[in-house]
Structure 1
């Protein structure tokens, strides 16, 4: 049951069919009902939908980008169902109880169909388990399996030096951890850590590489578990490489849900960059004994806001993160009000303090001879494709070893997940895990 797909196969088809049936029951009645009641409800539903569009896009800015208009249609249909349920019950023929039950069921079916339609577009909850909140995160502390710090000179494990022991687990495990910020003072919500089968084996693979993943905004680390299916993705990779895969760290990059997002920069709001480039690696090395051989063992990747974060760290901390994948990121960190608001809120009006850390400005003024990355964009991403193209152009012009990839899809997991999956072999080779 937990692996039932919610974005392909029969479930979304059945959901849409059931929603259509529910809406049909609410709409179709007598001629008088169709002429007098339904048009009024349609107009009211359209008005409510326009209000929703305005509030979502202009007041609260719920999305990183303007939501495709087609995705507001399900909301309008749900409004229509809610507006029709009372008059449809009153226009019953037969038992009131039956009409009430039918009305409630119809509204629920329309709402579920609408949610399914949106979920198919974004792929946020690909399975029934993810929709029910079953993330698969272990309830055991990571200390029960953590290797602790390496002894000096511990070599990095690679596929050429590793022999999988017979008792090795078939899959990895995700743990919830709190990564402290003693240097940065950064306030962080719990992070998620994926440990591959080879790390959980006895004896365990020592000194594995580390992949740090950044989520979008609004969002949290669990989005990489749900929409990104990171456990399944890494388990599949590990199964093809004798149980080996990078240790994956998914930190909270919201400053524990702060009203001003940290932007992965050191600002007057928080020292997010220092947290991600100093505190996080120090914790990983001392607690998990991973990534201690060289900087080439470290890579970062993120989508949307996390893609912007990726470029910030790749250009400000290239000595820590020389390998990166920017998936549908922006040209620069943004907030409502644009660059002027960023400079005012985060840098006390000092524009040079912003440009000193801004990725595109650094690409124009610094060289990155040891860095390599991939910029991934969605073919139908009307906003972020052009921004990704600009990031690639500037990075390429700077001499950085960078590749651009255009994948089918828009600003959704249709692009974000393949943006990582398609490049795992390249990442693992860069990190020295496989040849």
Structure 2
């Protein structure tokens, strides 16, 4: 569970220099760790970007959020599905109904039927846990309560069948009603784990396909030219699949107020936004709830901000493509050959890699790194939020089979470490890794003055899973990628935060990185950002 103060530290890889530099506090290979607040490296775009006459000069490189800023603001609106009375009530009602359904006085009931029901529940929980682990469906292990709820759901079903003969009406009623409540408890715990739906209202909006905040139609854009709306707008787009053949869902573009100034759109830069393994293109808006932070940043900049492109990297909710080309679809081709040209032609984004960034969360973080190192002709900036070492769908053998149809050479073509080593020196490319570290990570608690993210109210965040593997699975991956990247000329920084693998962390990481990304893209950054 994510409670108390969240400790953050910065790593900066020093490259392959023949001898490792060591900090007195902590160092991993060639990546020194700094335990005080520090600036993100000064952005250095390859192409000079003219500053508009009305804009002020960019301030010094943006810092991490101050201790007075709560980056998780906005997740407490509506009836919470993450904490509070509703999830607890569902779980208590399920437990009470199961107890009522169990109440019998016969000897055979307790010696034969109840043990069978319990055994079926345990087997179901074990099978579900094994499948999730073997399929590599999550970077962060699920909480134990999830498997308890899975077992309780199957056990409740077994109780209905086993206890029906000879049961009284109220026992049958309790057993039947216990099934949906146990299933609801499973859904609640699953949602608490990843923070997918922060509230009842956000879940209802997503499940009923309600409009996104500030959403309008493409046809309405022409009538807004020459205006300066208070907030930007989100428009649904169809980028087609002519180049990739990738069947995708509706994607979205956020246009800041500055895009509407003048008779023709200004040449604003763009940020490709990629979600997690189980996703919809609108997840950054619905589950991440980033628009209040985007609106605040845009207002501080007099309406100027990057265009945000919310893409479909999967084609369906549970199709884990890892943004590669393979049996699950040519996702990489879709993002680079369908989306990028479409956005450039429709919204006036310059065909310049210095004007494009990729931000991704979880699987999307892996995609952000991979797309940038594979296509430096398209992207010069990336933010990898809790991504992996490379595209993965289990073990290496499983990944080769599942993602590439058994083609081992395709694995190498999409492996970022292999790609960087083969590419050689990059020019003008920079990346920011925002990753999670468990409380026991060596060195996190050592040294002098630490930078602390603010104390976060538990009612506003997802729980996250058990943090036992995040150390090597995320931070360790970032260290290896950053080390190889620095050796090949990529300017990279690692920002680690103690917390859970949830959408709330993803949103906070995006919010804190937005000023840096904007500066990298050549936009003036508001002094208040």
Q: TM over 0.5: same fold? A: yes
| Aligned counterpart, 2:279 | 219
Q: Any unmatched runs of 5+ in structure 1?
A: 151-162
Match of 1:47 among 117, 120, 123: 123
Equivalence map 1:311-350=2 (5 Å): 311-335=369-393, 338=396, 342=400, 346=404, 349=407
- Please tell me whether residue 143 in structure 1 is matched to residue 219 in structure 2: yes
| Aligned counterpart, 2:421 | 364
| Aligned counterpart, 1:284 | 343
1:267 deviates by 6.6
- Please tell me whether residue 415 in structure 1 is matched to residue 475 in structure 2: no
Match of 2:254 among 188, 191, 194: 194
1:349 deviates by 4.7
SS at match of 2:285: helix
Change (3 A) 1:42 1:267: closer
SS at match of 2:384: strand
SS at match of 2:508: helix
More helix by share: 1
Change (3 A) 1:320 1:407: same
Change (3 A) 1:54 1:362: closer
Equivalence map 1:20-39=2 (5 Å): 20-30=95-105, 32=107, 37-39=113-115
TM-score by length of 1: 0.79
Equivalence map 1:24-423=2 (5 Å): 24-30=99-105, 32=107, 37-58=113-134, 61=135, 63-65=137-139, 67-68=141-142, 70=144, 71-86=146-161, 96=169, 98-132=170-204, 133-134=207-208, 136-137=210-211, 141-145=217-221, 165=228, 168-169=229-230, 171-199=231-259, 206-254=266-314, 256-257=315-316, 263-265=322-324, 272-289=331-348, 291-292=349-350, 294-335=352-393, 338=396, 342=400, 346=404, 349=407, 351=409, 354-365=411-422, 366-380=424-438, 381=467, 382-383=469-470, 384-385=473-474, 386-423=476-513
Residue by residue, what CA displacement relative to the aligned partner does 1:139-177 show, whole Å, maximum 9, x if unpaired?
8532321699x9xxxxxxxxxxxx994xx24x4443332
SS at match of 1:292: coil
Change (3 A) 1:11 1:269: closer
- Structure 1: distance between partners of 2:125 and 2:187: 15
Task: State the structure with bigger RCO (CA 8 A, min sep 6), 1 or 2.
Answer: 2
- Structure 2: distance between partners of 1:105 and 1:387: 46
Change (3 A) 1:21 1:396: farther
Change (3 A) 1:248 1:84: same
SS at match of 2:288: coil
- Structure 2: distance between partners of 1:17 and 1:240: 46
1:39 deviates by 3.2
Change (3 A) 1:38 1:195: farther
Aligned residues: 411
Change (3 A) 1:90 1:406: farther
Change (3 A) 1:15 1:164: farther
Residue by residue, what CA displacement relative to the aligned partner does 1:206-241 show, whole Å, maximum 9, x if unpaired?
333311011222433133333222434433433444
| Aligned counterpart, 1:155 | none
Greater shift, 201-210 or 298-307, is seen at: 201-210
- Structure 2: distance between partners of 1:9 and 1:47: 31
